[in-house]
Amino acid sequence: MREYTIVLDPDSEGKGFTVTVPALPGCITQGKTRKEAVERAREAILLHLEALLADGEPIPEDLPSVEVLKVAV
């Protein structure tokens, strides 16, 4: 069992979320609700890992804690 950090990015029009996985570049999905987005993230991560294994690629570990900051400009 592995754990990966996911980033939920709400749509500017309130129509759902885009989900990315920082440790797995290219692993992106979407969901209309937070719950759906998280469920789809699990599926996307599993498929991504299966593809890496099939290609003989190493399975990345999760990145150290992601820090999100706001910067005033």
Residue that is written with structure tokens 């399975």 in the block: 59
Q: What is the pLDDT of residues 61-70, one digit of tens each?
A: 998 877 888 8
In this prediction the pTM is: 0.86
- Nearest 5°: CA angle at 50, between 45 and 52? 95
What the chain holds in terms of domains, given with CATH numbers, is 1-73 (3.30.160.250)
In this prediction, residue 65 carries a pLDDT of 77
Q: What is the pLDDT of residues 1-59, one digit of tens each?
A: 899 999 999 998 888 999 999 999 999 999 999 999 999 999 999 999 999 999 999 99
| Residue among 66, 67, 11, 70 at smallest CA distance from 37 | 11
